[in-house]
Structure formats: C-alpha cells, structure tokens
Amino acid sequence: TTTQESPTAAGSGSSATEAFRASTLHSGAGTDPARVSAIVSKLLAGIHDVVRDESVTYPEFQAAKQWLIEVGEGGEWPLFLDVFVEHAVEEVAARTQDGTKGTILGPYYLPGQARLATPATLPQRPDEKGVPLVFTGHVRDTDGRPLAHAELDVWQADEQGYYSGFAPHLPDGNLRGLVVTDAEGRFEIHTIQPAPYQVPTDGPTGKLITAADWHPWRPAHLHLLVSAPGHRTITTQLYFKGGQWLDSDVADATKPELVLNPADQGDGTTAVDYDFVLEPA
Ligand code: MBD
Ligand code: FE
C-alpha cells in the first residue's frame, strides 16, 4: 500500500476561504441599517445572555477571543459557519421552497466543472476505491413535466472522505461534474459511494469539537445543485440508508426525504433511482 498524504485542516480550511472569496455567494445582501441593527443587536444580546447565564469568566472570554483569531488565521470560517450555522439559514429558506427538499451547500462546492451528457461517469482516478453506484432519475417541474437539459452539478467526497480541490493528493475535478438531463429529463450518473466526512481535527474547528467532547462526523453524502432555466435551483444532499452518523450529523443537515437506499446489484455494485422536482423561479 502507498502512504497517502492527508489534507491538513490548514490546507482544506484556507482553500475553502479562497473558494468562497472567488464565489459570488457573498453578493446580493442588502445594507439597510435597520436590518443590520436588528440582526446584530439580537446576536450580541444572545452572547450577553450566555455570558450571564453561564457566568463566563475572563480567562474563558480571552480563550474565546484567541480561538476566534485562530479560526480566521486558519481560513476556517467557511467550514465553521457551514457546519454549525448554515442549517438554520437553510431552514428559513426552506419555508418558501416547494419541490425536492434542500439542505446546506457546505464549504466544498467548486463551480466550473466539466459538462457531461447523460449517461455520465464522474471524473475519477483509474484506481478509484469505493462501492460503485449508478444513480439514475428524472428532473421534473412541480406539475410533473420532465425538464430536458436540466443540470445536476454534483460533488462528493471519495472513499476516504476527501474532496478534490481541498485535499492536495486528489486531482482537480475528481468526483465532480455537471450532468445534463436528456430530452426526457432523465439522468444517469456513474460514481462511487462516498465515505463519511470528518471535520479536520487539527484545526480550530476540530479543536473546539474535541474540547467540547462532540464528534466531528457528517454521514456519507452526495452534494447536488439541480437547476433548469425558469426554475428555482435546489441545493441539496443525498445520504445513504443505514449509514453511520445519519442521526447525529455534526452539521445537522440530514432530512428523511433525502436518504437513498441503493440496491445491491449482486456483483459488488449498487444502483439507486431518485427524482428531483423544481418549482418555478
Ligand atoms: C462537508 O462535506 C459538508 O458537506 C459540510 C456541509 C460541511 C463540512 C464538510
Ligand atoms: Fe460535504
């Protein structure tokens, strides 16, 4: 066996910060002073309440300050916020969303992947490990009409739980792809089942998790952005029935509607069908 270099928290964390900076995710928020004041006042009041309720001491306050500095220096704000805060933001967005359930985006999306006609095989190494998975389905609108040329932007961890673009030993674009549905709205994606994801334990987010005696795991998942012209894009993830950490996701981002149950094909491979429903934009 060969020794594989594993990504350090510093590597994946700062890469996530670079990816976020290069994205347009942070544009589009307003700057209405009343809105800023309402949100920040409540945020600070919540912190003040914790300080009083828990009788937070000066050493604890200064340790928190030190930790916050390290999160920034390590580039881990995208990781920390997507793991511990994004699920609540998604919950609010979901109040007005119809069709397939969404869930959090997370810090490891990278735009600009290869466009692949269906049936598609996600780019992978010649010796890519993991149980093969054939993932098929349709993309339809809320009236049940198939959406031809809809796009499924897919990304996932490998069989060791690492994402390309954020782990130095993986080729760019590995297990990422933009799959386009055919004229009947159908897609077929050949890939492997990912492993659960572990928040890197050597960075500030991981150190906090260890200090609090929590666990750092997310259940195995596929990420998807499903889109079609004139329709609201769905950001979601699909999980695997019976998988470890399904009921205790550190990022609190699982939903029962998003759990796949792939069928064993009897030859060491698995297959599953799942349909997506997009609402009008
Ligand atoms: C992940 O792989 C992920 O999906 C989320 C939401 C946070 C951290 C790592
Ligand atoms: Fe993920």
Residue 40 has pLDDT above 50, yes or no: yes
Which H helix or E strand runs over 87? helix 86-94
Give the number of whichever ligand sits closest to the CA of residue 203: 1
Does residue 256 have a cis peptide bond before it, meaning omega lies within 30 degrees of 0? Answer: no
Distance CA 54, CA 262 (A): 46
Average pLDDT over residues 86-91: 98
Distance CA 265, CA 256 (A): 24
Share of the chain above pLDDT 90, in %: 93
Probe target for ligand 1 pocket from 105, 162, 201, 218, with the most ligand atoms within 8 Å of CB: 218
Q: Rounded to the nearest whole angstrom, what is the distance from the C-alpha of residue 239 to the centroid of ligand 1? A: 12
Residue 62 identity (one-letter amino acid) = Q
pLDDT band at 2 (very low <50, low <70, confident <90, very high): very low
Q: What is the pLDDT of residue 9?
A: 65
Q: Which residue has the tokens 């054939």?
A: 134
Q: Assess whether the C-beta atom of 162 lies below 6 angstroms from ligand 1.
A: no
Task: List, for residues 110-138, the tens digit of each pLDDT value.
Answer: 999 999 999 999 999 999 999 999 999 99
